[in-house]
Amino acid sequence: MRRISILMALLLGVVTSSPSLVDTRVQAQSGSSLATAPLTHLAIVVPNIDKVAKGYAHLWGMEAPPAISKMEFELANGKKEKVKVAYVPLPNFYLQLMEPDSKSGLLGTHLKKYGLGVWGLGVGVDTNVDAVREELVSKGGKWTVGKKGGAYAAIDFRETPLGTTLFIGPSARAAA
């Protein structure tokens, strides 16, 4: 019994005195462009933006649902996609609700296949978006949104173990 007590005391001493054993923070690889990029938002595809915006307003205790507007963005193939969009502001993050205008476009197809839910994870990239996009494509993603030289891009990783799209663009918050 005394041996077990001594072993436990030694083990406790080693664990508490060694920062490398105690430090459980995850460190990104230094070679990644995303190593210090902040998460900015979740892009959520919805079939009825009015209903979903009211639901989020109720959930977060907002006085009124977020404003809904129309937006158009460029796809990697040069076409444009129209959506209704609303922003649900949170303290240091936001939700971007999007209702596709077309059932056959990128987001309409996503909605048919996966239903209401997260389409992409927003990551703040304030450097060369093209370089980050190219890096992510080299890691198995498929470039779906944005144009060369543009301020944003989306890289689809749904067919990989990540299972989502990464939306890269400015880290500044969108106007609510």
133-172: b or e for each residue (b if 16 or more CB lie within 10 Å)?
bbbbeeeebebbbbbeeeebbbbbbbeeeeebbbbbbeee
Give the per-residue pLDDT at 173.
64
d(CA 63, CA 152): 32
DSSP code string of 54-83: HHHHHHHT-SSPPPEEEEEEEBTTS-EEEE
Give the per-residue pLDDT at 15.
35
113-153-36 Cα angle (round to 5): 110
Give the per-residue pLDDT at 172.
79
Per-position pLDDT tens, the chain of length 176: 444 333 333 333 433 344 444 344 444 455 788 888 899 999 999 999 999 999 999 999 999 999 999 999 999 999 999 999 999 998 888 999 999 999 999 999 999 999 999 999 999 998 899 999 999 999 999 999 999 999 999 999 999 998 899 999 998 765 54
Computed on alpha carbons and rounded to an integer, the radius of gyration of the chain in Å comes to 21
Structure tokens given for 154: 């989306």
Q: What's the pTM?
A: 0.77
The single residue listed with the structure tokens 């430090």 is 23
Give the per-residue pLDDT at 30.
55
| Straight-line distance from the first to the last Cα atom of the chain, in angstroms, rounded to the nearest whole number | 64
Give the per-residue pLDDT at 10.
35
Kind and range of the H or E element at 156? strand 153-156
